[in-house]
């Protein structure tokens, strides 16, 4: 219950406050969003698998976002930012897809 | 492929399996039970939802900003174009005024017919009359780059493109064949007009032209057309058509209308003072 509340609070806070994202962070936001989605889908799948762990979820979410942003930052500094973001998006995208497929198998048994 | 397979197989964080194994030995498992653990999960979900929402909001905010900037630029271009049009109108009006005064002044000093002729030949006044219309265009296969504007084309090295010296020869040929007034794409040529290339565009008096180039010449219609086609420059144009596929079309027109040249400057004449007057 508290967890669902947290989800709702997060969405509402994001919509209401509409925080001014610092210009320095803006390039990494899309990647952070993809990483966050990856962590959320991973958590969902783990929950359905019955092996969910709150600590693993939170830590994996935080580290995913930070590492993804860091990779893109590093890539920008090295001049291969777009290629590295493509790589990150591909890897995270595949993970999201296969997690979503696993969730689908759980929910629809198909 | 092993990299992709690895990514596919380990789509779920390995941490979950490890944690589950650890818990199984402890006897616990599944969803968090203590309030503290639930709070940690809730905090994580708050963060996740926040990041996703902010990302979405950011994307929605950024799109209208770009569109707005574009709109503003278009507005500015429109405004400046309008301003330029107004100024051009003023110039036209003033020029009319000047030419009326000039004519009046010349009538006083007994100019009459001669000044009209000088005005026509100098390009200072609008003229109309029988003449020819000559349309010259780049060859069909000539690469015209991304767009159709003269600035976006691939360059003059392409032999299928009309060059400035081609236009020079055409215009000179028309003069030599007896044209009394010539204009290209609505720009009247005077004795001091320059046809030259800048970058990828042909400029007439520093204004870029967009193909096709329409040359209008006032003169003795049919005679002018035949004489031009028989002249060296007409043959040159013909050769361009045959060898490079440059498209040309010449036709006799009953009444062509040419505007006045935009700037006719008196260079050497001085206003007569009373002392000089004899």
Taking the C-alpha atoms of residue A57 and residue B48, their distance in angstroms, rounded to an integer, is 10
Is residue B78 in a domain? no
Closest residue, chain B, to A18 (C-alpha): B54
pTM to 2 decimal places: 0.46
CB B247 within 8 A of CB B134: no
Cα–Cα distance measured from residue B39 to residue B128, given in angstroms and rounded to the nearest whole number = 89
pLDDT in tens, B204-229: 877 788 878 888 888 887 888 888 88
CB neighbours of A58 closer than 8 A, spacing ≥ 6? B40, B41, B43, B44, B47
Q: Which two tokens stand for residue A82?
A: 């777009």
Lowest mean pLDDT among A43-57, B16-30, B44-58, B202-216: B16-30
Measured from the Cβ of residue B205, the count of other Cβ atoms closer than 10 Å reads: 17
Residue B132 DSSP symbol? E
What is the span of the domain harbouring residue B26? 15-54
CB contact under 8 A, B37 and A6: no
Same domain, B134 and B242: yes
Domain limits, chain A: 22-108
Tens of pLDDT, residue by residue over B155-176, are 455 567 888 888 888 888 888 8
The Cα A11–Cα A8 span in angstroms is 5
Within a domain: B76? no
> What is the value of ipTM here, to two decimals?
0.71
Same domain flag for B46 and B139:
no
Q: Please indicate, yes or no, whether residues B144 and B50 belong to a single structural domain of this protein.
A: no
Q: From edge to edge, which strands make up the β-sheet containing B207-208?
A: B195-198, B201-204, B207-208
Q: Using an 8 Å CB-CB cutoff, list chain B residues near A32.
A: 51, 55
User: Please, are residues B123 and B190 in contact by the beta-carbon 8 Å criterion?
Assistant: yes
Neighbouring-strand partners of residue B249: B135
What integer pLDDT is reported at residue B28 of this predicted model? 54
The verdict on B32 touching A (C-beta cutoff 8 Å) is yes
Question: Does the pLDDT at position B152 exceed 50?
Answer: no
B8 interfaces chain A, CB cutoff of 8 Å: yes
DSSP B96-121: HHHHHHHHHHHHHTT-THHHHHHHHH
| Buried-exposed string B129-152: b where 16+ CB fall within 10 A, e elsewhere | bbbbebebbbbeebebeeeeebee
B37 with B141, same domain: the answer is no
Parallel, antiparallel, or unpaired: how do β-strands B247-258 and B127-137 relate?
A: antiparallel
Asked if pLDDT for residue A11 goes beyond 70, the answer is: yes
- Enumerate residues 184 to 223 of chain B having a beta carbon within 8 A of any beta carbon in chain A: none
Asked if B50 and B133 sit in the same domain, the reply is: no
pLDDT above 70: residue B41:
yes
Domains identified in chain B, total number: 2
**Residue A22 in contact with partner chain B when CB distance is under 8 A:** no
Q: What are the φ/ψ torsions at residue B156 (nearest 5 degrees)?
A: -80, -10
Q: Is B170 a member of any domain?
A: yes
Q: How confident is the model at residue B147 (pLDDT cuts 50, 70, 90)?
A: very low
Residue B235 lies inside a defined structural domain of this protein: yes
Q: What does the pLDDT read at residue B84?
A: 92
Give contacts of A99 with chain B, Cβ < 8 Å.
11-12
A91 touches chain B (CB under 8 A): yes
């Amino acid at each position: 219950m508290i967890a669902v509340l947290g989800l709702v609070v997060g969405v509402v806070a994001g919509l209401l406050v509409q925080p001014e994202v610092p210009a320095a962070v803006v390039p990494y936001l899309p990647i952070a969003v993809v990483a966050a989605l990856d962590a959320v889908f991973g958590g969902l799948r783990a929950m359905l698998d019955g092996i969910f762990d709150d600590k693993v979820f939170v830590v994996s979410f935080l580290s995913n976002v930070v590492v993804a942003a860091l990779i893109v930052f590093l890539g920008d500094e090295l001049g291969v930012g777009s290629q590295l973001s493509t790589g990150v998006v591909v890897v995270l995208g595949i993970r999201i897809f296969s997690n979503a497929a696993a969730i689908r198998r759980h929910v629809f048994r198909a | 492929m092993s990299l992709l397979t690895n990514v596919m197989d380990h789509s779920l964080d390995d941490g979950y399996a490890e944690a589950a194994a650890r818990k199984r030995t402890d006897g616990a498992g599944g969803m968090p039970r203590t309030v503290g653990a639930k709070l940690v999960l809730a905090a994580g979900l708050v963060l996740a939802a926040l990041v996703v929402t902010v990302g979405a909001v950011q994307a929605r905010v950024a799109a209208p900003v770009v569109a707005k900037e574009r709109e503003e630029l278009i507005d500015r271009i429109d405004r400046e174009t309008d301003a330029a049009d107004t100024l051009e109108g003023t110039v036209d009006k003033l020029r009319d005024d000047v030419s009326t005064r000039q004519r009046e002044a010349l009538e006083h000093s007994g100019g009459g017919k001669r000044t009209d002729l000088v005005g026509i030949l100098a390009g200072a006044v609008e003229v109309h009359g029988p003449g020819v219309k000559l349309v010259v265009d780049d060859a069909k296969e000539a690469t015209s780059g991304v767009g159709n504007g003269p600035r976006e084309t691939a360059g003059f090295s392409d032999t299928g493109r009309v060059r400035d010296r081609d236009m020079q020869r055409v215009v000179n040929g028309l003069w030599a064949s007896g044209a009394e007034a010539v204009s290209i794409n609505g720009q009247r040529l005077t004795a001091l007009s320059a046809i030259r290339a800048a970058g990828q565009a042909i400029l007439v008096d520093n204004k870029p032209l967009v193909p096709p180039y329409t040359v209008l010449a006032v003169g003795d219609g049919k005679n002018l057309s035949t004489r031009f086609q028989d002249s060296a420059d007409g043959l040159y144009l013909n050769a361009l058509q045959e060898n490079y596929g440059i498209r040309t079309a010449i036709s006799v027109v009953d009444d062509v209308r040419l505007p006045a040249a935009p700037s006719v400057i008196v260079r050497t004449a001085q206003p007569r003072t009373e002392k000089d007057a004899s």
